[in-house]
Amino acid sequence: MTHPAKRLQALALSLLALCLTTPVGAQTAPEGAKPWPNKNITLVVTYAAGGFADTRMRLLARKLSDKLGQPVVVENKTGAGGVIGTAYIAKALPDGYTIGSGNLAPLAVNPSLMTMLPYNPTKEIAPIILIENSPLVLSVANSMPVKSLPELVALAKKEPGKLTFGSSGIGGAHHLSGEMFREIAKIDIVHVPYKGGAPASTDLMAGHLSMMFEMGYAALPAIKGNKIRPLAVTSTKRLALLPDVPTMAELGVADFESYNWQGVIAPGGTPPAIIRKFNAALNEILLDPEVLKQITDSGSQPAGGSPEAFAQFIASETAKWAKVIQAANIQPQ
């Protein structure tokens, strides 16, 4: 009969060998459990079905299902500008079976705008990957007597408090880009918030607004139809869809960079091995021609990178927009 100590030693050696040869995802599974993933994964989209974020996340979910060998099911949790869905992700079980979209407002703006945020974005969120940066386009109404950004700045300084800029609401990328423009260019322009980007765009085309920062995909039809006049983009590089439109920096507005971005996040405490596996799969997906085409066709720029890089990006965006919010005297709600 084998001595108990020898049996334990043999078992330990067997377990060591198993750990050295088992894929990284499987190492997170408890003894006796099937390797991760072994069931459906839920991808929570914090905005409405059919919208910009939803369209992108559904494509990623389909590709991720193929990579991981398990269905990735999209579930929309909407409301409060992405706060409800982000809180749902933050409070979910950190077992690798719930992930979600991570966006500008819920992660980097609301900490400065909301006094009672129902989650801690630095402790209850685990960044996985930045998917894309979506630059905005600064356009003016065709009735505006300006053909360039320097002319717009000169007119705003000549007529302080007269020119208006629209937005989809307080605290969004449209609004904060306008506030940053006001601060950096040292001009006095009036913010006009709307209940959504579409009515603001309609008023811009009608000449009821002087200017607006819009997402590329939203502004493109009106630009191509010559219904508004684009002056600049808010990225450091020109957009492939608008190669003749210069960047804000090219036109002398230094240190101006603004994006409406989105990535993928998990609940805080999700095992690092699972985070790395998600990250590796999504980095590969971002090289897929179908995914690249959908991103670039919408006027966005693909990102990628490590979870640590995404965490640093969120921190830098939080600090940047906190300064803009403070300078504009936007009061927390």
The pLDDT assigned to 33 comes to 66
Residue 193: Cβ-neighbour burial (10 angstroms; 0-12, 13-18, 19+): middle
Which helix (H) or strand (E) element contains residue 68? helix 52-68
Pairing of strands 41-45, 98-103: parallel
- Identity of the amino acid at 279: N
One fold for both 41-133+260-327 and 136-233?
Answer: yes
Distance CA 35, CA 130 (A): 26
pLDDT at res. 32: 57
Q: What is the CATH number of domain 41-133+260-327?
A: 3.40.190.150
What is the DSSP secondary-structure string of 20-64? HHS-GGGGGSPTTSPPSP-S-EEEEESS-TTSHHHHHHHHHHHHH
Residue-wise DSSP of 153-185: HHHHHHSTTT-EEEESSTTSHHHHHHHHHHHHH
Q: What is residue 196's predicted lDDT score, i.e. its pLDDT?
A: 87
In a 13 Å sphere around the CA of 266, the CA atoms on its Cβ side amount to 23
Distance between CA 43 and CA 57 in Å, rounded?
Answer: 8
pTM to 2 decimal places = 0.87
Residue-level pLDDT at 34 = 81
Structure tokens belonging to residue 75: 């579930």
Distance from C-alpha of 200 to C-alpha of 206, rounded to nearest angstrom: 10
Output DSSP code: residue 252: T
pLDDT confidence of residue 22:
35
Domain boundaries, the chain: 41-133+260-327, 136-233
pLDDT of residue 255: 87
- Based on the number of CB atoms within 10 Å of its own CB, is 28 exposed (0-12), middle (13-18) or buried (19 or more)? middle
User: CATH topology for 136-233?
Assistant: D-Maltodextrin-Binding Protein; domain 2 (3.40.190)
Mean pLDDT by 10 residues, the chain (333 residues): 39 35 40 83 96 94 97 96 96 98 96 93 97 97 97 97 95 95 96 93 97 94 96 94 94 92 98 98 98 93 97 97 95 79
